[in-house]
Amino acid sequence: MSSTDPRSWSGEPAEFDDYAAEYEGGLDNPIKRLLGSSPDQFIAVKTRWLMRHEPKLRTGGLAMLDYGCGIGSLMRVLVNTGGRADFTGCDISTGMLRQVEKRWPVSLAPLPALAPQQGARTPFADGQFDIATVSAVLHHVPVAERPAVYAELGRVLKPGGRLYVFEHNPRNPLVRHVVARTPIDKNAILLDPKEVRHGLLDTGRYDLDTDYLMFMPPGLAILRPVDRTLAWLPLGAQYVVAARKPG
C-alpha cells in the first residue's frame, strides 16, 4: 500500500486490513471473553439502545450510515434482532468492507451499500442520512484528525438527523486494562465523552445527550435492567453521545 493510499488516515496504512479476515471484536483478550462469549453480545448492547431511541428502526424507512463500519457488525446485529433500515457502511479498510459482504445475512436483508473512505471523507451527498452511527471508531483516529470526522458526519446528516457516537469509556479501569492488551487497539487513544461533545459543537449546532452503557456482563440478560437504571453514571464500559442536528 502506498503512502497516499485513500483507505488510510493521513496516508498511514489502513491497519485493519491486517485483521479483517479473522476479526472477532477483541475477544482474543481473555478478560473480555469472561464478560461475553461472542462479539455480538457486546454489540447488541448498543443495538438495543439504538432501537429504544429510534423506534423506526423496527419498521424501516430510515436511511442509516454506519461510519467506520468495519466488518458490518453493528448493522448485522441490528438486522438479526429485527432492525430495518436502508443501510450504508463505509470504512478506510477495503479488507473490512469485503468481510461485510461475506458475513451479511442476505436471507434477512439486502446487502448494505458499501463505500471506501478517503481519510475522514466519504463519497456521500450532503444531507443524505436520517441516522449516522460511529461505533468504537474515534479512538483509532489521530486526535488532530477527529475534527474532520465530526465535520463529515454533520455534512452527511439531514436536517433533524441524529448522530450516535459509541465509544469505550476511559473512566472505566477495566476498559483501559483490556484496550492496553488488545492487539487491534495497539494505536488507540481513548477519548472522554466531553471531547466528543466539544468536537461536535466545534463543527456544528446540535442538541446533545450522553448515556453510559455496559455496567453488567453483556451475556447476562437478567441484568439488563440494571444497565438502563445506571445510564446516568459515568462508569459504564461504553458511552454514547447522541446528537440531533437542527431541523
CA pair distance 72, 17, nearest whole angstrom:
14
Higher per-residue confidence, 144 vs 20 = 144
pLDDT digits (tens, 9 = 90+) for 184-224: 888 899 999 999 999 999 999 999 999 999 999 888 889 89
* 21 Cβ contact partners less than 8 Å away, ≥ 6 residues apart: 95, 99
Record the pTM.
0.88
- 49 backbone dihedrals φ, ψ, rounded to 5°: -60, -45
Which residue ranges make up each domain of the chain? 15-244
**pLDDT at position 182:** 86
pLDDT digits (tens, 9 = 90+) for 171-181: 999 999 999 98
CA pair distance 42, 84, nearest whole angstrom:
20
Mean pLDDT of 82-91: 97
- Beta strands 238-244 and 129-135 are unpaired
As assigned by CATH, the class of the 15-244 domain is: alpha beta
In the predicted model, is pLDDT for residue 161 greater than 80?
yes
